[in-house]
Amino acid sequence: MKLFFKTALVLGLICSISGAILVLVNNITSDRIELNEFNKLNLALNKVSFNNNISDKVEVTDNHSIDSYYNLMDFKTNSLKGYILSLKGNGYGGEISLLASYDTKGNIMAVELISNSETPGVGKKAENKGYMDKYIGKGSDIAIPLNKNQLSDPDKNLVSGATITFTSISKMLNEGSFFVKNLGEKNEY
């Protein structure tokens, strides 16, 4: 019985010390992590903005896929060129976060993957250069592919083994297109 209490005491002490060290490391690194996330977001915003001005962030509370959006304003004329949406969805490994720019009709102009927890070698294919190209120019005029049968053979090979990731990204982008179309209709009146 003494051995049981001694073992429990030692394990409790190890857990307490480990917890204290984790709290200390978290406090030391939290500012740096926050700065890295801020820089990553700004870099992605610049990539999808095509050198247009980006308005202040507008929070979206009534949509499960869209967290927020930014107005894209022409650099020279200050007229509305489109929108950048912050999109979230669930892939095979957990949450996927994207930034996508759309023209005012809802056609996709650019997509940047912000974060994901997908399976290396399978779902992580979405991180590869050129993966998001299959979506560019689609939305209002040309349907966004929502299943692999709507893809060309080379694109089918790109998403092979990662159907859940592909479907999640496609659904987010499609919902973003509808959201932008509705924004455009609200701005016309």
pLDDT one digit per residue (tens) for the chain, 189 residues: 788 888 988 999 999 999 999 988 888 888 887 888 888 888 888 888 988 899 999 999 888 889 999 999 988 888 999 999 999 988 777 788 899 999 999 999 999 988 776 556 555 556 667 778 888 898 888 888 777 666 666 665 565 556 777 788 889 999 999 999 888 666 543
- What residue numbers bound the domain in which 141 lies? 51-188
111, 25: one domain: no
The C-alpha atoms of residue 113 and residue 87 are separated, in whole angstroms, by: 10
Residues 33 and 69 in one domain: no
Query: What is the pTM for the complete model shown?
Result: 0.77
* 44 in the same domain as 84: no
Q: What angle do CA 164, 57, 184 make, to 5 degrees?
A: 75
Q: Are 31 and 93 contained in the same domain?
A: no
Same domain, 176 and 85: yes
- Do 95 and 154 belong to one domain? yes
Residues 115 and 147 in one domain: yes
Please state the domain count of the chain: 2
Same domain, residue pair 90 and 2: no
Spatial contact of 92 and 162, defined as CB atoms under 8 Å apart: yes
- Dihedral, 156, 159, 164, 170 alpha carbons, nearest 10: -70
